[in-house]
Chains A and B, each alone.
Chain A
Amino acid sequence: MRILDFLLRTRGRQRLDWTDYLSYGYLLLGLFTLFAPVVWLIMSSFKTEAALAQFPPSFLPYAQSTVTVTGFDKPLPLFEVTLEDGRRQTLAQVNRVGIMATMVDPQSPDERLRVNIAQRKPVESVAFAWSNYTDLFQKFTFGTYLWNSVFITVVATLLTLLINSMAAFGLSKYRFSGQRGVLLLILSTLMIPPTIILVPMFLVINEIGLLNSLWGVILPAIATPTGVFLLRQYMLTIPDELLEAARMDHASEWRIYWRIVLPLSAPALAVLAIFSVMWRWNDFLLPLIVLSRNEQFTLQLALNAFQGELNTQWHYLLAMTVITLLPVTIVFAFLQRHITTGIAGAGVK
């Protein structure tokens, strides 16, 4: 009962009372639950393979410090060594055979010490393993996946904007017999999600010859009932007088669409563009059945294939995941208000 009490009060008070504290407590809990996993992912993606294997894990990425000692071409790992007489000293390790390690004092590189490995502890410092990211581009065909995702997203979004705005224009600025039927037909596809026509979709794409082609993912997705509906509702508010005036000037119907109606529909087009980018960038099931060859994988498919391997290389997988969520996060950071109000519709003013 008491908990419910606080949920009801929509009218604020002069000073904070306990219901306000509860509200902010709830919001902070939400902030933690929703963002801590993402922050943890990002921090983990900067850890070396060795640091990832540590349990319990640390929040910050640590790596063993190294030092360059004169006389050795590679940097040597640093250890804190407890000597026989109980003194502690920081030494660099030259090599290790069995349980004995050969160490050297960085200050006097000529003198070698033999130390039992039980007596040394690695010196660690915070270090971001950027190599997880750079390796992706050098060792893997990650650039290809990224390019495939970008290509699909950009091309599909442009085509989505074009053909859906054309349909919306045709349905809002002309009167022809069968118009209502066409609108209903398009809207009825809202009820047919891709999940239930998966098998025949595969056949159709195969027959057209688009299997294992990026176009096989682009074309089926470009006509969207949501897009037509959204744009039509917007175009209905554009006064017909503008079109009539252009017709007086002998503009062709295409020119009217391209030069007058399309620019005026920019706000609605922007909303659809944001949606389309999100949909295509995050798409999974259709690419999963259409694209089966490694060189055509999108980021999502590559992530899925990567995580399914027997020995998952988490240090690369995490970096790849971060890169995949980055564009969406950046878009959201800048367009947060547009996206949330766009979705909530006319209700939120």
Chain B
Amino acid sequence: MGIDSLFRAVQRRLGLQRMGWLFVTPNLLVFSVFCFLPIAINVIYATSGGVNLMPLQRPFTGLENFQILFECQNYADLSTCRKDVFWRAIWNTLTFSVLQVGLMVLFALITALVLNRKIVGRGFWRGVFFYPVLLSPVVVALIWKWLLQRQGVLNAGLVGLGWEPVEWLTQSGTAFFWTIFVSIWAHMGFYTLILLAGLQAIPRDLYEAAALDRAKPWRVLTRITLPLLMPNLIVVLVLAAIRAVQIFDEVFVLTGGGPGSATTFIVQFIYQTGFAEQIHLYGLAAAASLALAFCLMLLTLVQLRISRAGQNESRGE
């Protein structure tokens, strides 16, 4: 076999232990080309101007892209900013993340607590709540677009009750609400699973001891369940936050960022600046993605911190 003799020949030169390099190489190659190299190029883009795609032919402009992004005449009024869409996207992403993560983790926690009870058919229910996680963002968006359109079933329900039909996706307030609702609908099951696993790892005898002491259920929750679940809860919060600030696919198909820029989030700003608009401002898009990367790094550091603290405690895995 060709591949066997190749490996033998390499082994004669490298020695046995360094054969590890040979196995790691394809992976590192892919990562270098499609991850590490792009990171380096991203920095070049962010610090250069013009519309040229070739990094080395772009004029160096220092921090100008960041200035363009962040400059405002009056920071209390976002419409005075040079790139007011960028600021609106940041503001939208922040509000979205806080509301979506908060509500989703709350519902995931309630669901996990219910599933942790003595429930008939727990496997089935777990599957029910997990199913939407597997659907593609485009499919999720289209399902809801179909329900929410003017002639949709939701409006049919409203009319049936004697109310006026509502244009759910073309009014800023309702459109924003539905982006939050739909993304909770699609992702909640994943976090429910993690929390359920955490709940099931809590030793049973603690609950038995509490029952002997005739502890009130409320006290059992606040004194036993929640404190012991805290490490999982924080991991779930951080993971959900990392995902939430990168929201794009579902919303892009559901509302296209509209009406106006009511549901435009930061990744969509990057996509539009770099690819969708007539003039492709790669530098500006790259600068915005570095800002996003900075946020993600902060979130990841928080997570690493916490998971390390969790491991130092006795109940690490």
Binding site for B on A (CB under 8 A): 1, 4-12, 20, 23-24, 26-27, 30-31, 33-35, 37-38, 40-41, 44, 53, 55-57, 162-164, 166-167, 169-171, 173-176, 179, 182, 185-186, 189-193, 195-204, 206, 208, 219-220, 222-223, 228, 252-255, 257, 278, 281-282, 284-285, 288-289, 300, 303-304, 307-308, 314, 317-318, 321, 324-325, 328-329, 331-332, 336-337, 339-340, 343-349
Contacts and interface: CB of A to CB of B under 8 A. Distances in A.
Contacts of B286: 199-200
A307 B145 contact: yes
B101 to A, nearest CB: 17
B230 interface: no
A55 B151 contact: yes
B55 interface: yes
Q: Kindly state the interface size class of chain B when it binds its partner.
A: 35 or more
A58 B210 CA distance: 53
Contacts of B160: 56
Nearest to B303: A191
Contact of B193 (A23, A37, A308, A344): A344
Interface string B284-301: 011001101100110010
B198 A347 contact: yes
User: Which A-B residue pairs are the 3 nearest by beta carbons?
Assistant: A347-B197, A170-B23, A12-B118
Contact of A26 (B114, B151, B153): B114
Nearest to A208: B33
B20 interface: yes
Contact of B147 (A37, A204, A331, A349): A37
B194 A199 contact: no
A29 B197 CA distance: 22
Interface string B28-68: 10110111011111100100000001110000000000000
B75 interface: no
Contacts of B292: 195-196
Contact of B289 (A5, A27, A197, A339): A197
A253 B127 contact: no
A348 B134 contact: no
B309 interface: no
Given A56-B159, A170-B20, A192-B35, A34 B142 contact: no
Interface of B: 3-8, 11, 16-24, 26-28, 30-31, 33-35, 37-42, 45, 53-55, 110-111, 113-114, 116-119, 123, 125-132, 134-139, 142-147, 151-153, 155-156, 159-160, 185, 190, 193-194, 196-201, 207, 211, 217-218, 220-221, 225, 246, 248-249, 252-253, 256, 267, 270-271, 274-275, 282, 285-286, 289-290, 292-293, 296-297, 300, 317
A222 B98 CA distance: 33
Contacts of A175: 17, 20
A1 B219 CA distance: 11
Contact of B117 (A9, A186, A195): A9
Nearest to B109: A7
A80 B75 CA distance: 68
Contacts of B6: 254
B246 A195 contact: yes
Main secondary structure of the interface of B (DSSP, over half): helix
Contact of B194 (A10, A11, A344): A344
B27 A167 contact: yes
Contacts of B34: 201, 204, 219-220, 223
Contact of B31 (A9, A34, A223, A304): A223
Nearest to B152: A57
25 contacts: A7-B217, A8-B220, A8-B225, A27-B114, A31-B125, A34-B185, A40-B146, A41-B142, A56-B156, A167-B26, A191-B300, A198-B270, A202-B53, A202-B274, A203-B54, A220-B34, A253-B22, A282-B134, A282-B139, A285-B248, A321-B142, A336-B123, A339-B130, A343-B193, A343-B194
Given A23-B114, A27-B119, A34-B132, A57 B153 contact: yes
Contacts of A6: 217
A255 B4 contact: yes
